[in-house]
Amino acid sequence: MTQARASTHLPAGHPAVPERKIGILLVNLGTPDGTDYWSMRRYLREFLSDPRVIELPKIQWYPILYGPVLLRRPKTSGENYKKIWNYELNESPLRTITRAQGEKLAEAFRDDPRVVVDWAMRYGNPSTESVAKRMVEQGVDRMLCVPLYPQYAASTTATANDALFMALMKMRVQPALRTLPPYYDEPTYIDALANSMTKFLGTLEFEPEVVIASYHGLPKRYFEAGDPYHCHCQKTSRLLREKLGWDEKKLLTCFQSRFGREEWLQPYTDKTVERLAKEGVKAIAIINPGFSADCIETLEEIAGEVGEIFLHNGGTNFAHIPCLNDSEEGMTVIETLVRRELMGWL
């Protein structure tokens, strides 16, 4: 319904009523605003004070967080971000790619004036709250939240939804809300991973003996508490193997990005890469199926640090397979899932 048509149903003198719109909000993890100490500190403080991320009592965790962690880690993390920073736009690759995903999804809906597409970060800027408020001000009264995490974890999908829920709690007039379920076993996602991998591996001058599917890790106790993340990752890898016609020796499942001293999900990516090199494996590739966009954990940790571990311990050829990002395959996944979840609204 156009605004002109909507206005014909209003009494004389009534203020204009914005056209009712449907909002699609893409949400990714987050990014610091810069690589300097204070930008990194603000980002890490917000991220690591989330009780979904660090499931410890504040009385136990906060002395550590506001002590050694926020004193030392901002400098170290800032140096790592500098290695992958998009200096042309003065932002992290995650922000660049997430913006591109939002713009391309908006282009896919360009013929429907009812649809508003935007993007936000769970931590850092643009914040989920600020973007949700802007969308409502544009007339959005139905909103689909799209956490860009294929596999569900309380520390990713749930906290992304939490941020939007908390933003809506402050609004007098809330939009109706839907959230995208995890899509770890969706055929469109598995097909996109397989096609993207096949195309990239075809550009290499070597054939990997082993490919590792490396997922972000979680403390083991989160899994024991009932988090389904580990199971989702294993199923993604199994379906990807089946799609490619590979066995478990060709495509391994590992977990990266440990933090702290407690045990996390295993096998660990860095330890596995070191072992493979020492056992005589000369060529490997790593893909990150749990990340919808390349970021510090894929570009610096995997393509950088883990690659160096492999080469240092006797490996010869190493490749990092890019995430789906805003590629044709990646956008097909997002658009397909979004259109399905909007059924009944569009």
Q: How far apart are CA 129 and CA 115, in angstroms?
A: 19
Residue 277: how many CA atoms within 13 Å on its side-chain side?
A: 20
- Which three-class secondary structure state does DSSP give residue 216? strand
Task: Please list the alpha-helical segments (H only) found in the chain.
Answer: 3-7, 37-48, 58-64, 70-84, 93-108, 128-137, 159-169, 187-201, 220-224, 229-244, 269-278, 307-312, 328-341
User: Does 14 belong to an annotated binding site?
Assistant: no
Q: How far apart are CA 171 and CA 194, in angstroms?
A: 42
Calculate the alpha carbon distances from 146 to 118, 280, 298, 342 in Å: 10, 43, 21, 11
User: Does 297 belong to an annotated binding site?
Assistant: yes
Give yes or no for a contact between 140 and 25, defined as CB atoms under 8 angstroms apart: no
Q: How far apart are CA 298 and CA 11, in angstroms?
A: 57
Candidates 73, 105, 287; CA nearest to 196 is 287
- Which three-class secondary structure state does DSSP give residue 127? strand
- Look up tokens 């995903």; give the residue: 101
**Numbered residues of the known binding site for Fe(2+):** 216, 297
**Numbered residues of the known binding site:** 216, 297
